[in-house]
Every structure is written in C-alpha cells, then in structure tokens.
Structure 1
C-alpha cells in the first residue's frame, strides 16, 4: 500500500513538474528569442510551437535512454490520441469549436500523412537512427513552411503572434539573468518530472501486469498532455477556436516529427509492444477529428462528449479491462 501511495505521489509530482518546467522553458525561451531579434511570428512558429512538446520530449527521451522503448513510443501514440479525442472533446464542452478552413484543409491532412509515416516506420518494432533523422528533417521542413505560411497568411500570422503573447504573459523583464535561470530551472523540472512520472507509473501499475506500451499510451501520455489540455481549454473559453485546435494538432505533429525524431536520432528506439495497429488508430482518430472540424456546425457539445467517451474507451481497452 505504501509503495502504491508513493508511486501515485510520484506521478502527480511528475505531472506538476512537467507542467511548471514546460511553462518556464517556453516563457524564458520566448523572451530570449525576442531579445535576439526574432519576430513574434518566427517565435510562435518555432520556439513556442516546439516548446509545448517539451514534456513529451523529456519523457520519451528519458524512457528510451533507460531502455523503456515501449513507454517512449507509447507516450507519443497516447499523447496524440489524447490531443484529438480528449483535448478537443473537453474544449468543445465549453464552447463549440469552429476552426478556419486551413485547419481541416491543411493541418489535419498533414497530421494524417505523418501518422501514416509513423505506421510504416513502426512496422518492424524499431525506429532506427536513420528514420529518426528523416523525421527531424521533416520537422525542419514543417517549421520552415510554417514560417513562410505565417508571412503570407495574415490569419496564420495572428495565430502565432497570439501564441507568443500567451507565452510571454505579463513578462517585462529587462535583464538576461532571470530568464536564463528560469530556462535552466525549466529544463531541470522537465528532467526530474519525466523521471518521476515514468517511475511512478511503472510502480503504480505493476500489480496489473500491464505492458510498458499500455502504460505509455495511458498514464504517461495523459501526464505529458496536461499543458495542451490546459492551454486549449483556456483558448476555447476565450472563443479562440483556431488556437485551441491548432495547439492540439500542432502538438501532435511535433510529437511524431520532433519527439520521436530527436529520440531515435540519439538512440534507436525498440518498441516491441507497439505495432502498426497503433498507427492505424492514430490515422483513424485524426480522420475523425478532420471530419468533425470540417462539418458545418463544428465540434459541439454532443460531438465533444462522444470524443471524451471514445478516449475513455481507448484507455479502458489499453488497460485490458472488459468492456
């Protein structure tokens, strides 16, 4: 019982550290980039967009380096499923999500294509270093394309500027000392939070004899998705549907290209309990998100409730519980 309680405390503390660490790193990095002369659009398309996936990166990289490849890849799969089903579902319970045409004509198709690439890469249960480098190259291309897109499309540019404003908040610091220290503290919190979340999840779910992949796609993925859940719900309540949906879709793209790519580039990831079926689930979930966002009425409360129930069913199935 004491072991279980300590594991639960580790999970909660790990989630808190990931949230705080990610927020500190994004705000500090945004301030530094702004002082270095980067435009708000460039910062939003690079620093902020990549920074929001730092919890997933720290957990997946840490898990892979410690030999828990299934948790590493499972975290990416589970986070993306969570982003579309749970994040968008919860957001639409507060306000109907009606995003711009670019979201379902461009962003979702990109996510579906990348999910297809992931499905192909995981066919042999290993994401090699070469495949990781290919994903990182894809990330660089995606970021560069977003920069060009933001420069040519005023609406996209406003989206990224809005993300920068959210990251900076009321920050008016004039000296480098505090932002640099905050960035260092953020990295430390991310590293410690990732370790506690993984170890706590392994300890808490040990009696259930679950596979590491099941742990990765459920508890670990939900823990690393806390920042996206909070940010998107706040955006939805403010009536910023594009920001809410954009955070969910953009984070999912970065999870595959950036998180998996960087992790595999440093160390090939073996995930024997993650198979192409998980990739098919990602594609199906992304297609469902596209259809719902593209419908005339957007994602309303009824559709949102269905998405949340679908996520609950996904978690129950991953745990191997009877339906």
Structure 2
C-alpha cells in the first residue's frame, strides 16, 4: 500500500509541474506566433490548465479503468463547485456583475444534464465523444465571436477568467523576449512530465483501490479528483485574495465546462463505452444540483460567506458519505 500511495503522490506532483510547464510553453509559443490574448485565454490556457484532468482520464481509459476516468471528471466538478468556489468566496465574497453572467453557468448546467442522460441511458461511443468535443469547440467559438467581435470592450467569459486567474498566480507567465527554443522545450517537457505523472497516478490509484478494497470509481471521485483539481484551487484562492473574486467564479465555471465536454469527450472518444452507472444517482445528481446552484448564485449576482459555508459543508457531507459507505 505504501508504494501505491507514493505513486499517487508522485503522480500528482508531476501533473502539477507538467501542467505549469506546458501552459508556460504554450503561451510563449502562442505569443511568438502573434496569437491574441483572448485566444490564449480561451484556448491555450483553457486547455492547458485542464491537462492534469485530461491526461489522468485518458491514461485511466487506456489502462482499462474508465471508472477512474469518469470518477475524476465528476469528482473534479463537484470539488470545483463546492470546495473551490466555497473556499474562494469565504476568503472574499464574490460580486457577479457581468451582463451575460447566466451564459457560462447555463452552459455548465446543460453539459451536466447531458452527462446525466448519458449515464442514465448507458449510451456512449466514439461518436458521442466527438460530439462532446465539438460542443466545447462551438462554445469557445461562441465566446470568441460574442466578446471579440460583438463586444470587444467587454471581454468577460469563463475561459478568459481561467487565463486571468492563472496570470494572477504566475506573473512571469508572459515572457518579454526570447526566441522559439525556450517555449518549445517547455511545451515538450511539460507534455512528457504530464504523461509520466498521469501514468504514475493511475497505476497507484488502481493498486490502491485493489489493496484497500475500494472501487475505482471511489478512488476517482476522491483522491484523483481532488488532486487534479489542485491547480484550480490555487488559482481561484489567489484570485480571491487579490480582489479578483469574480475571476475565481469564472475559473470554476470554465473548468466545469472543459471537464465535461472536453475531458469527458476525449475519454469517450478514446475508450468508447457508457458512463459508469454507479455514479447515479448520488454523484452525477450532486454534480447537476451544484451546477444549478451556481446558476442561481449567478442570477442573485453574488456569493457571500453564508452560501460559501453552505457549499463547503455540502462537500464535507458528500466526502463523509463516500467514506462511510466505501
């Protein structure tokens, strides 16, 4: 068991390091190529900061353990909505002032509902996976069109907020000079470290599940999900502490959208099959309920400390239930 735990810890550390190197390299390459800041926020940073979850889920699917992959996706979204948003709002109450504040939480609710339907029907194949990824690309294109072409002075969307949150934690993200070599090396090394970390994490998680007598879904919902959500936790808390609480809100919502449509799509594309039925009704039900809760908070225009405590309490109760029923 000690070896399995060490593999999990080492994998998580490498995922965090690899993700940071990859994002730094990808942003550097994008800037050298003259890509706009909005596109960097929407695509480069959006996908880059989701890489720990993506690599872990893909590795789990390839290792013949799709339950870990889907547990990671569902568990990460629950952790984002309850733990991370609750912690950020507890540090600094979030005022949501964006005129289109309903859009991104609404997309997250729609994606959560689709996942619920897929789990309930047992329908899943490569075509569904490709469709989910296509939906994410359409969403990104929608954000770009609306806020770059329609309202260029009002850039505000969840993927863009993810980029802003990362910049707050990493002031040196944008290199002021230099050639192509450094960002290219960072990108390649980051990818290699991510892949290695993902393999260690999945191997350790599978071994830990077998030794401890836990289901792979349980491991994915807890250890793997919380571990791969650490970048979002750090960036959201830093954003809240620096007075950018609304950016923390967008960071959470954007991560949830990328997880279901992007990572879920990639998982189903590479390992066609149904979403594990044992994620119903509790886990996916809570995922959808938390997405609806975030949409309600967006309409109310704020997340004060009382709702923040309620979110954290809900997550603690959820983890307690999982542990007691393991």
Matched, 1:224 2:228: yes
Alignment partner for residue 46 of structure 1, among 39, 43, 48? 43
How much has 1:174 moved relative to structure 2? 1.1
The answer to whether the 8 Å contact 2:49/2:231 transfers is: yes
Counterpart of 2:259 in structure 1 is 255
Alignment partner for residue 33 of structure 2, among 31, 36, 44? 36
Counterpart of 2:69 in structure 1 is 72
Quickly say closer, same or farther: Cα 1:274–1:191, change in 2 above 3 A: farther
How much has 1:193 moved relative to structure 2? 1.3
Alignment partner for residue 177 of structure 1, among 181, 184, 191? 181
How much has 1:149 moved relative to structure 2? 2.3
How much has 1:314 moved relative to structure 2? 1.4
How much has 1:170 moved relative to structure 2? 5.2
Correspondences of 1:158-197 after superposition (within 5 Å): 159=160, 162=164, 165-166=167-168, 169=173, 171-197=175-201
Alignment partner for residue 83 of structure 2, among 75, 86, 102? 86
User: 5+ unaligned residues in a row in structure 1: which ranges?
Assistant: none
How much has 1:308 moved relative to structure 2? 1.4
CA–CA distance in structure 2, aligned partners of residues 229 and 49 of structure 1: 15
Give the number of equivalent residue pairs. Answer: 318
CA–CA distance in structure 2, aligned partners of residues 164 and 214 of structure 1: 29
Counterpart of 2:285 in structure 1 is 280
Alignment partner for residue 292 of structure 1, among 297, 313, 316? 297
Q: SS state of the match for residue 174, structure 1? A: coil
The answer to whether the 8 Å contact 1:73/1:274 transfers is: no
The answer to whether the 8 Å contact 1:41/1:147 transfers is: yes
The C-alpha deviation readout for 1:197-246, integer Å capped at 9, x for no partner, is 22223333444422111111111100110110011111111111221011
Runs (4+) of structure 1 exceeding 4 A deviation are 157-161, 163-168
How much has 1:102 moved relative to structure 2? 4.6
Counterpart of 1:118 in structure 2 is 115
How much has 1:72 moved relative to structure 2? 0.7
Moved more, 186-195 or 249-258: 186-195
Q: SS state of the match for residue 319, structure 1? A: helix
Counterpart of 2:155 in structure 1 is 156
Instruction: Give the alignment's TM-score, normalised by structure 1.
Output: 0.91
Alignment partner for residue 140 of structure 1, among 137, 141, 156? 137
The answer to whether the 8 Å contact 1:44/1:164 transfers is: no
The C-alpha deviation readout for 1:94-152, integer Å capped at 9, x for no partner, is 11111224564111111001111111112244531010011011011011011112213
The C-alpha deviation readout for 1:179-203, integer Å capped at 9, x for no partner, is 1111111111111111222222333
How much has 1:263 moved relative to structure 2? 2.1
Moved more, 111-120 or 307-316: 307-316
